[in-house]
């Protein structure tokens, strides 16, 4: 998963993530937990599985639940036109994996 080229990213002093695109004009303000997910995605080169694993270890929670939350949020960003899915060359990458069916 990668931000689309025209997206601007800002973290404010309260830890909120702000994403903005001009065409189409989109603004997205995220809670600090989403800022942490964004940073984990950047550090994992956009790989959802790796980002979820690092967050689950940090937050001491179930990696499956963390991955599910990350997939849902990534889908919202994709639907808003702020990110796009890109296949990764890394073994085991879940970036381009199809969305899981709802439970």
pLDDT for residue 75 = 93
Buried b (16+ CB within 10 A) or exposed e, 52-72: bbbbbeeeeeeeeebbebbbe
How confident is residue 98, by pLDDT bands cut at 50, 70 and 90? very low
- For residue 97, pLDDT beyond 70: no
Question: What are the tens digits of pLDDT across the range 57-82?
Answer: 999 999 999 999 999 999 999 988 88
Of residues 23 and 97, more confidently modeled: 23
pLDDT at 101 over 80: no
CA dihedral 75, 78, 82, 84 (to 10 degrees): 120
Helix (H) or strand (E) holding 2: strand 2-3
């Amino acid at each position: 998963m990668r931000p689309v080229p025209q997206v601007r990213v800002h973290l404010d002093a309260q830890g909120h993530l702000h994403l903005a695109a001009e065409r189409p004009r989109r603004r997205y303000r995220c809670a600090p937990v989403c800022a942490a997910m964004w940073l984990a995605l950047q550090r994992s080169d956009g790989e959802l599985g790796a980002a979820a694993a690092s967050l689950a270890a940090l937050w001491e929670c179930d990696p499956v639940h963390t991955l599910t939350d990350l997939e849902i949020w990534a889908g919202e960003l994709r639907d808003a036109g702020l990110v796009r899915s890109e296949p990764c060359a890394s073994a085991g990458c879940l970036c381009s994996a199809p969305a899981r069916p709802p439970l």
